C-alpha cells in the first residue's frame, strides 16, 4: 500500500500523485518532465543531458588515448558521470512534489491523502468517499463528539495567553526584519551589477517591474519581469556550462603537455573552460538571488512597502464591472443554491458538521427570508 495525493477540478476530473520517490523521473529524467508538463525542468534538463553525453563520449579519448584506464582517468570519468546521476536523484526525490504543484496550479483542489495500491485505486476510494487519510481538505476543523457539541469555549484571556506563548516561542525574529535584510542585500547586489553594462539592463527591468506593480497594486508585473530576467539567467547558465563541458576534456587532457586546449578543431587557452564554468556558476547564483533575495521578500512585504511608499494616495480599489455589462447581466456571477447545498452536504458527509447544523444551513439556503 502506498500513499497518494488525490486532486479534483471543477469538472469532476480526478488526478492522483504518489507521495515520495518517483522512479519514472529517476530513470527517464528530462523525458519524464516533458511528458509530465514540467516544461521549465524539461527544457533545462534536455540540453544538460545532451552536453554531458557529449562530454562523456569525448572524455575517454581526451584523458586516456591509449585506453589504460588509470586512476586519474577513472576519477575524472566518475566526476563527469556523477553530475547527471545527481540530477536524476534530485528528480526522483522531488519529481512527485513538482508534479503535484503543477496540478494545483491547473485549478485542481486537494481532496486528501489516500492509501491505495495504485492511482486508479486511490481515485476510486476518493470517489467513494471512504478510507480517506487524516490529511483532508476539510480536516482543518476537528470533528466534535456529540457530548461536546455545546461545550463552552475557552476563555478569551486564556486564548490570548496561549497565543502570546506560541508567538514568543516560534516568532523570535519578526519576518519583516528578515525580509528587510534580504532586500538590502539584493539592493547592494543590484547596485554592484549596475556598475557593468551587462548588469545595467536586468537591473533596470526589475526596477521597472517593481514600480509598475507598486503603482497598479498588481503583482503581475513584478513576477513577470523576475521570470524574464531568470529566463535569461537560465539560458546563460546552460550555454556557458555547455561551452565549459565541450572544452573541459581537451583542457584536462593537455594539462600534462602544457599545450593549449583543443576542441572541435580550434585552439583556445586553458582559461576558456574555467571562465565558462565561472560564468555558469555566477548565473546560477543570480537566479537564486532573484528568487530568495528579491521576489519572495517582496511578495511577503508588498503591501507594507506600498503603504510606506504611497501612503493613502494610491488605495487598493478593486476594478468594478462596467455599467453596460451589469445591465446586460454579463458582469453578474450566477448563484446556485444547489451548489451551496452540495458543499454543506460534503461537510456533513466528512463529519465536520452534525445533522442539526446541516439542516439549519439547508433551511437558510432554501428560505433566505
- Per-residue pLDDT, averaged over 74-101, amounts to 81
Q: Give the residue carrying C-alpha cell 439547508.
A: 362
Q: Looking at the domain assignment, is residue 321 inside a domain?
A: no
My answer on whether 77 and 188 are in the same domain is: no
DSSP 153: P
My answer on whether 196 and 271 are in the same domain is: yes
My answer on whether 260 and 333 are in the same domain is: no
Q: Looking at the domain assignment, is residue 167 inside a domain?
A: no
More confident residue, 271 or 110: 110
My answer on whether 6 and 103 are in the same domain is: yes
Give the confidence band of 74 by pLDDT, cuts at 50, 70, 90.
low
Give the confidence band of 248 by pLDDT, cuts at 50, 70, 90.
low
Q: Looking at the domain assignment, is residue 120 inside a domain?
A: yes
Q: Looking at the domain assignment, is residue 323 inside a domain?
A: no
My answer on whether 18 and 72 are in the same domain is: yes
Q: Give the residue carrying C-alpha cell 511608499.
A: 309
User: Which whole-number Å values give the CA distances from 207 to 66, 67, 219, 296, 338, in the listed order?
Assistant: 56, 55, 13, 15, 48
Q: Which of 87, 113, 140 is the last residue of a domain?
A: 140
Q: For position 55, what pLDDT does the model report?
A: 64
CA distance 251 to 233: 26
My answer on whether 302 and 354 are in the same domain is: no
Residue 361 pLDDT more than 80? Answer: yes
Please tell me whether residue 285 adopts helix, strand or coil conformation.
helix
Q: For position 36, what pLDDT does the model report?
A: 83
Q: For position 253, what pLDDT does the model report?
A: 59
Residue 140 pLDDT more than 60? Answer: no
Q: Which of 282, 310, 338 is the last residue of a domain?
A: 310
Give the confidence band of 27 by pLDDT, cuts at 50, 70, 90.
confident
Q: For position 59, what pLDDT does the model report?
A: 55
Q: For position 164, what pLDDT does the model report?
A: 46
My answer on whether 306 and 342 are in the same domain is: no
Give the confidence band of 324 by pLDDT, cuts at 50, 70, 90.
very low
My answer on whether 92 and 212 are in the same domain is: no
Q: Looking at the domain assignment, is residue 245 inside a domain?
A: yes
Q: Looking at the domain assignment, is residue 190 inside a domain?
A: yes
Question: What's the number of domains the chain is made of?
Answer: 3
My answer on whether 297 and 349 are in the same domain is: no
Q: Looking at the domain assignment, is residue 59 inside a domain?
A: yes
My answer on whether 294 and 332 are in the same domain is: no
Q: For position 11, what pLDDT does the model report?
A: 76
My answer on whether 228 and 292 are in the same domain is: yes
Q: Looking at the domain assignment, is residue 301 inside a domain?
A: yes
Q: For position 168, what pLDDT does the model report?
A: 42
My answer on whether 118 and 181 are in the same domain is: no
Q: Give the residue carrying C-alpha cell 516560534.
A: 170
Enumerate residues 6+ apart whose C-beta is below 8 A from 306.
214, 217, 314
Percent of the chain residues topping a pLDDT of 70: 65
* Domain carrying residue 353: 328-362
Amino acid at each position: 500500500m502506498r500513499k497518494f495525493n488525490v486532486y479534483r477540478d471543477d469538472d469532476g476530473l480526478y488526478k492522483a500523485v504518489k507521495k515520495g520517490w518517483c522512479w519514472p523521473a529517476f530513470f527517464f529524467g528530462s523525458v519524464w518532465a516533458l511528458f509530465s508538463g514540467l516544461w521549465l525542468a524539461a527544457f533545462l534538463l534536455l540540453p544538460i543531458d545532451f552536453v554531458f553525453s557529449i562530454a562523456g563520449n569525448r572524455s575517454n579519448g581526451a584523458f586516456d588515448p591509449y585506453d589504460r584506464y588509470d586512476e586519474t582517468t577513472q576519477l575524472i570519468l566518475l566526476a563527469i558521470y556523477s553530475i547527471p546521476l545527481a540530477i536524476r536523484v534530485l528528480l526522483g526525490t522531488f519529481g512527485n512534489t513538482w508534479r503535484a504543484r503543477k496540478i494545483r496550479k491547473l485549478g485542481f483542489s486537494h481532496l486528501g491523502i489516500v492509501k491505495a495500491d495504485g492511482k486508479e485505486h486511490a481515485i476510486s476510494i476518493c470517489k467513494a468517499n471512504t478510507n480517506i487519510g487524516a490529511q483532508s481538505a476539510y480536516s482543518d476543523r476537528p470533528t466534535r463528539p456529540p457530548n461536546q457539541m455545546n461545550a463552552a469555549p475557552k476563555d478569551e484571556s486564556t486564548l490570548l495567553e496561549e497565543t502570546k506563548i506560541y508567538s514568543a516561542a516560534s516568532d523570535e525574529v519578526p519576518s519583516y526584519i528578515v525580509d528587510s535584510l534580504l532586500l538590502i542585500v539584493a539592493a547592494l547586489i543590484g547596485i554592484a551589477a549596475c556598475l557593468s553594462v551587462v548588469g545595467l539592463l536586468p537591473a533596470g527591468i526589475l526596477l521597472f517591474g517593481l514600480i509598475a506593480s507598486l503603482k497598479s497594486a498588481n503583482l503581475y508585473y513584478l513576477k513577470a519581469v523576475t521570470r524574464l530576467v531568470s529566463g535569461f539567467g537560465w539560458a546563460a547558465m546552460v550555454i556557458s556550462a555547455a561551452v565549459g563541458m565541450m572544452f573541459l576534456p581537451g583542457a584536462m587532457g593537455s594539462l600534462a603537455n602544457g599545450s593549449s586546449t583543443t576542441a572541435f578543431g580550434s585552439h583556445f587557452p586553458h582559461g576558456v573552460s574555467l571562465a565558462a564554468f565561472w560564468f555558469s556558476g555566477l548565473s546560477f547564483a543570480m537566479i537564486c538571488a532573484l528568487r530568495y533575495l528579491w521576489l519572495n521578500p517582496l511578495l511577503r512585504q508588498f503591501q507594507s512597502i506600498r503603504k510606506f511608499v504611497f501612503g493613502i494616495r494610491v488605495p487598493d480599489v478593486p476594478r468594478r464591472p462596467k455599467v453596460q455589462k451589469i445591465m446586460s447581466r454579463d458582469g453578474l456571477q450566477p448563484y446556485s443554491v444547489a451548489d451551496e447545498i452540495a458543499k454543506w452536504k460534503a461537510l456533513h458527509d466528512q463529519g465536520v458538521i452534525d445533522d442539526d447544523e446541516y439542516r439549519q444551513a439547508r433551511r437558510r439556503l432554501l428560505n433566505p427570508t
